[in-house]
Structure 1
């Protein structure tokens, strides 16, 4: 992993926990599998388990050739697509991910965004600021706000999407979901209604994206689909910016027809002249929903727990199934 990742994610408690169950050199950090340092090469040669994080280089055949004993990779982050290659699966290496741990803060952010969107918190704050020193006419100015009997559409029954479903259960909301890999029986068990995407878009007061970035999902929300959203509806994107046609969304938001909460955009960092920075109906955040600050230590704890299980001869709790990677993050 990168030095920045190690310093942010792994505190002394996590490193001590690892040292209890594994022969680990907590002072050794590998950032390049091609490094010729003899100490590093020797430790890689002896490694049974590789603990990885953001910034890990690809584990290709050349890298694996330096680790003949490697049997498992434990990733203290979400997606493993950036570094776990076909060479790993061909060799039968077991892979675990902390994606479930990383899903929690994203789902919490989404819950807050949904409730604030239906309550029109941004608009209320803007009106109060404009009135400065005067009362805001809540009944006349906000006749249709609130979270009672509103409809929320979730696009994707991913780890994050499912956690959002759980968090929404106490509220008086109708929750629709679209996911081509979810069947009606499972949706019923999750307490949501399975519908096709266009029906979800037409019926939802808030649409929240939780689908992976794949060729099939690129610009899933194009101009035509955005046009199907009801006037005043809110689009929340904590997934990937590529799911949305940014130009088309910008047109809808500039016109004031839609609202948005955007933690991901395409491009990832918008140009300085993008109107999205200043529109009163847009909450734009810099990839804030995922694990940051103290939440990063949850990733370290999740990885340490998996290594403890491996040391005890137990299967990984969060094993990655390579067969699902073609339709997951």
Structure 2
């Protein structure tokens, strides 16, 4: 799909060159393309006509026309005024095609130079001007009765549909053999200052929604922090209560252990007292028995000594005394000690 105009290497704009003409002495050969309808008229009579045709012709008697039959795009950018006197810029693109090349060649000058193959005039500019004026007229008919807010709110669809209906019903386009295949409205924009002014309420609303979302997020964060703090405080209170119960239970347990220990000690003391009492009774009984036995033995011993002479008793006492005396390495007897003893023995 090509456009109506193109730029060459020098930056200038010119019509597209489609015919391929080969020059020979006194004659020429034209070779068409698959997207161009070529028409050869000689002496008012059509000699050759067709898409992609190739033929020989004489340059002095030939009238050649070349009509493109491919889809062509025409970008448009024009200004319009709405019902409330606001300027808007409409950007659209038209796609058209020559459906009847012979009729188009009869209404528009598509003749080409038999030497160079270039168009003698600017037929595509004429067609582009026709399409532009017609599309603008239909778009203006709609925009001039619609205010700016409605135009921007409804979007590009009403304008596209209005232009498409108007071009489809345009008798001049039909008489020229032109069919508009597609209408695309890219944008409808007001002036930059007005556009910014119109965007301000929406931006403010969006900013308010963003601020509201921020505040709600902060409020939710504060609420979550408060819930967390309350949970922590409740946990601390519960831990303190359980600790208090634990301390109380430990006191009860300690008191119970002390009572049990005291009861056990009391029982042990009573048992020990009973044991000591029984042991004391046993010892007293033993002492009584031993004392009685010793008294009886002593009595028997004294009874045995009752009929014995005193000298014998003294001798026996001395013997027992000597047996119980400690070991004596040497004994010194003085006259003072022996004199009383000898005196008593002599008296007896």
Fold match by TM threshold 0.5: no
TM range (shorter): under 0.3
- Answer with 1 or 2: which has the greater Rg: 2
Question: Hey, which of these two has a bigger chunk of strand by percent?
Answer: 2
Question: Hey, which of these two has a bigger chunk of helix by percent?
Answer: 2
- TM-score normalised according to structure 2 size: 0.18
